[in-house]
Every structure is written in C-alpha cells, then in structure tokens.
C-alpha cells in the first residue's frame, strides 16, 4: 500500500514507494554507492520544507506517476550537484540564446544539428533559412565538447548507441517527422506539441516515459502499476490521436 496521499509521511513510510524510488536510482546509476547516495538525496529532497513537493500533489494523476516524475527531476538535481554545472563555451555564449540551445541539444543531449534546427524553428529562436543556419553554426561545431566526441562531425547520421538507446521503444512520431521535408517538419512538431499539451496529465507522463526516456514499455507499466498490454493499448490510442491531428492539418507520411 502507498499510504494516505494526503499524508506525506505516510507516503514515504510505504515500502512500495521506497522500492520504486530505489528502482529509479538503480536505473540511473550503475555504481552501488551512487545508487545509495542518490536514494538518500531523493528522500531528503522529498522531506524538505515540510514535504512541500509531496504536499503539492492534487490527485490529477496517479500518486505513483506523480512521485516517479518528482524522483526523476530530483535525480537531475543530484547529478548537477554531484558532477558540477556544465559550462557553455564563451564562443557559443557570445552568439546568443539560439546558439546555447544548439550546443545543449547536440553536445549534452546527443541530438543532431538538424534536430536542433527543427527545435529552433518551433521555439522561434532562429528566423533564418536552413542554409543560413549551417553557416551560423560553424563556430559551434568548433567548440569543445567532452561529453560528445562526435560533436564536430559533419556526418549528421545517428549511429551506434545514439540511434538505438538501450531498452528504448521506437517512437513512431519521430520516425514520421524524420521523413518529412523541413517545411512540413516544423509544422508537424508544433501540432504534436499542441496535441500533447491537450492530453491529460497522466497521458502526458506516459508519452514522456516511453518516448522521451530509455525505459521500455514493460518497465513503465511496472512503475505505473499497470500491465504492459494495457499500457501498449493506451499508447496505440494516443498515437491514433496524434496521427488524426496531423492528417487534419494536411501532414501525412510520405
């Protein structure tokens, strides 16, 4: 039992919740010491300010889903505190916010420069055409990036672990977008984002867990306390909804 959701102390006294938190820590860190230290950090963070984060739960999603989201966010904080703040090279920072965004996406998150261009278009951070973008990112390509040795490669093909992250389910929406030309790709991304925003909080969480992390459907189902088959059925219905919205706007797979 997860305890009374109105009582944060009761929640953290639940063996089920503690086991879930521990499982998340183990998935993030291979080293046993880091697993234990991150677990303690998560528990302390959840208790901070009289359980402020847990008290913010409003019942709009499952308690286990809400806690899973919290734990992953806290672990990001733990990584930053443990390994220090990453620094944007000065040559990149001087180019402005759009350049910093490109650097973060390509260097730290292992996206391609083409992916970064799509993101800039959606967020209105770069108004120029693609050809102008290729010229503008030359200084960014030459900037140091220890996290991604292939950062300066002109080859935009994703290979190896980046193309097939361990345990990751293929994202059919990304596969569709990849086949579109640049004009339609930006429009499709906007439609997908708008559709996601309109989903329930729990469905948004489901989409993020499956398609924006390295967790397979089976692991996500276990985290959410559901069967893998029910999660796959829900994902299928959600993907139909995305495709219907895309088709309504004239976006179809080539």
Q: 165 lies in a domain?
A: no
Structural domain boundaries, residue 146: 90-159
Is the four-CA dihedral 226, 199, 174, 137 of positive or negative sign? negative
Do 70 and 101 lie in one domain? The reply is no
Predicted TM-score (pTM) of this structure: 0.42
Percent of the chain with pLDDT over 70: 80
Structural domain ending residue among the three candidates 33, 49, 83: 83
- Domain tally for the chain? 3
How many other β-carbons are positioned within 10 Å of the β-carbon of residue 2?
A: 17
Strands of the chain (E only): list them: none
Give the model confidence (pLDDT) of 36-62 as tens digits: 889 999 999 999 999 988 888 877 777
Diameter of the chain by CA atoms?
57
Do 12 and 76 lie in one domain? The reply is yes
In terms of C-beta distances under 8 Å and separation of at least 24 residues, what long-range contacts does 24-33 make, across chains too? 24/68, 24/71, 24/72, 24/75, 24/223, 25/71, 25/75, 27/215, 27/219, 28/75
Give the model confidence (pLDDT) of 228-239 as tens digits: 888 888 888 888
Q: 170 lies in a domain?
A: no
């Amino acid at each position: 039992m997860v305890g009374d959701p109105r009582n944060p102390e009761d929640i953290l006294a639940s063996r089920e919740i503690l086991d879930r938190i521990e499982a998340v820590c183990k998935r993030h860190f291979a080293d046993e010491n880091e697993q234990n230290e991150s677990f303690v950090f998560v528990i302390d963070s959840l208790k901070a300010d009289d359980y402020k984060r847990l008290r913010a739960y409003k019942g709009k999603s499952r308690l286990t889903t809400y806690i899973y989201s919290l734990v992953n966010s806290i672990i990001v904080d733990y990584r930053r505190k443990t390994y220090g703040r990453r620094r944007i090279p000065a040559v990149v920072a001087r180019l402005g916010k759009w350049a910093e965004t490109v650097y973060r996406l390509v260097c730290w998150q292992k996206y391609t420069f083409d992916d970064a261009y799509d993101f800039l278009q959606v967020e209105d951070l770069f108004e120029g055409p693609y050809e102008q973008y290729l010229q503008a990112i030359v200084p960014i390509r030459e900037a140091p990036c220890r996290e991604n040795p292939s950062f300066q490669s002109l080859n935009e093909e994703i290979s190896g672990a980046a193309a097939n992250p361990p345990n990751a389910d293929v994202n059919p929406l990304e596969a569709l977008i990849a086949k579109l030309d640049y004009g339609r790709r930006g429009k499709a991304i906007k439609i997908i984002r708008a559709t996601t925003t309109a989903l329930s909080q729990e469905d948004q969480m489901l989409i993020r867990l499956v398609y924006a992390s390295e967790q397979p459907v089976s692991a996500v189902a276990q985290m959410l306390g559901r069967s893998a088959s029910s999660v796959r059925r829900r994902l299928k219905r959600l993907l139909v909804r995305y495709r219907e919205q895309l088709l309504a706007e004239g976006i179809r797979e080539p």
